[in-house]
């Protein structure tokens, strides 16, 4: 995205997803869990369902 806007002209672009999803407790504001966005949909779904219990 930055490259297409001309903000990162010489940066190499990876085809692999990279990033982290961080789950934070709404009352304590403490980190509960982190997952890579490369995690499977099933892993994400299971984690979210578990955290909502």
The domain spans of the chain are 20-52
- Residues 41 and 29: their CA atoms lie apart, in Å, by 25
Query: pLDDT tens, 3-39?
Result: 555 555 655 656 666 789 999 999 999 999 999 988 8
Using a cut of 0.95, tell me whether the model's pTM lies above it: no
Please check the confidence at residue 53 and state whether its pLDDT lies above 70: yes
The secondary element (H helix, E strand) that includes residue 43 is helix 41-52
Predicted local confidence at residue 5, as pLDDT? 59
């Amino acid at each position: 995205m930055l490259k297409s806007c001309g903000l990162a002209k010489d940066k190499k672009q990876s085809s692999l997803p990279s990033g982290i999803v961080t789950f934070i407790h709404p009352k304590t504001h403490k980190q509960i869990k982190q997952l890579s966005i490369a995690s499977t949909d099933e892993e994400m779904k299971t984690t979210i369902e578990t955290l909502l219990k």
